[in-house]
Structure 1
């Protein structure tokens, strides 16, 4: 921080296991990545190249090298995994991970149906190769899972070898753990947290109101994902009670 300020929540140093900020890169140029790292790299824990954008991104290896030089892990979006799976190209996907030096991978089934035992098998196999982040929830707004099912799926994927599980919301924050309006399904989140450790979950929260809600519920060091590059600094101020939305929230909690 640039100057001392009392009664500010403590944020663990990177690399950290909780309080993660996962950023979605939907097609930044090399110059934009350099600028992003310069401004927000210190507050960014991991970057996802959204859905299958890596397939069409120019200078992909150069982009990945920039993030790596800044000590920021990257991974390809889960939709790319699904694109390989539906074409029966799992071994090709593994080769792509090796070719691009990926240390993380996302396993999801938000766009296609995969038998859950088979999905867990993919997680277990990939966990021998990389650190796996799995995603639970559908991108189809019509598919609404009961809380017990979210819990069951998350537990099984963690047991299969997932490092973290992502609670699906898409980049718009209007499916999965949210209603179409973007409002949090509060009962669902509360139920999930009765069984799944909060540090194991990355809550996709692209909207400021969603970020504020989770920070007030769990604290400054909640894991949040699908953050736009330009929103990393604003999010960090929300985590620290330095924006109007949480300005008074931590003053009496921090010693």
Structure 2
């Protein structure tokens, strides 16, 4: 069902419509870096309709009590938001030979998905694909990361990144997350041509792009429209939704031309 926010304030002001939740594309993935219950309640009160997936990031979930983590996951689910566990602690589980236990525990706690990445651990492509299959067998969806945190060099070989994505898809990954570092973070200029090279090979609906600054978000939405899936921070959710709705950074004339 399409929604033009008719149930929100000032319904007479037209905005660009887009599908209501549950969406299959144009997903907003929000990074939760250890938010407390009160902060989460405030966020959901204002932005729940615009968040599709909560990414429990940087391994901060390892510092929370099991009760708090479960309550947070339940709160997201009540708001129609899926949850996936990401971050360095999941890589520590791999190094310690605890991946199977990690996946089973994540599923038991109510997580919908996990991330397979190699920000800290040295991991071969075969290792990552084995983890994707293991997590899938445990009943979890998998977000597999393409690229390498802390390095810009990974963008020098588009062919290898395409090979990564293909391998992840063959192994059963739900989505492939394209790392921002090296594309829009820690670079002199945004590497749009590299992103377009990926989009020329794969449907952007099967990808998630990290976009933690306004310029990157504008580029992705302007280039791919509302089908693009973006990974943003919690304070950026409303900004991104305004951009998707044609209100922010585009201008009223463009908006009216598009929906009039």
| Higher relative helix content | 2
Q: Does 1:120 align with 2:133?
A: no
Residue number in structure 2 paired with 1:165: 176
Q: Does 1:241 align with 2:252?
A: no
Deviations 1:208-247 (A, max 9, x none): 111001011001331100x22222111111111112x122
1:20 touches 1:221 (CA, 8 Å); kept in 2? yes
Give the count of matched residue pairs: 247
Q: Matched residues in 1 for 2:152 and 2:199: separation?
A: 23
1:212 touches 1:246 (CA, 8 Å); kept in 2? no
Q: Matched residues in 2 for 1:179 and 1:29: separation?
A: 27
Task: Give how far 1:165 is off.
Answer: 0.5
Q: Matched residues in 2 for 1:149 and 1:34: separation?
A: 42
Q: Does 1:148 align with 2:148?
A: no
Q: Does 1:207 align with 2:226?
A: no
Residue number in structure 2 paired with 1:37: 44
1:167 touches 1:177 (CA, 8 Å); kept in 2? no
Question: Gaps spanning 5+ residues in structure 2: where?
Answer: none
Q: Matched residues in 2 for 1:78 and 1:67: separation?
A: 19
- Partner SS, residue 19 of structure 1: coil
Task: Give how far 1:111 is off.
Answer: 2.2
* Cα root mean square deviation, aligned: 1.7
Aligned with 1:66 (options 46, 69, 75): 75
Question: Gaps spanning 5+ residues in structure 1: where?
Answer: 170-174
Aligned with 2:119 (options 106, 110, 118): 110
Deviations 1:129-156 (A, max 9, x none): 2111111111122432311111111111
- Partner SS, residue 114 of structure 1: coil
TM-score by length of 2: 0.89
Q: Matched residues in 1 for 2:124 and 2:147: separation?
A: 13
TM-score by length of 1: 0.90
Task: Give how far 1:31 is off.
Answer: 0.7
Aligned pairs for 1:196-235 within 5 A: 196-225=202-231, 227-235=232-240
Residue number in structure 1 paired with 2:190: 184
Q: Does 1:57 align with 2:64?
A: yes
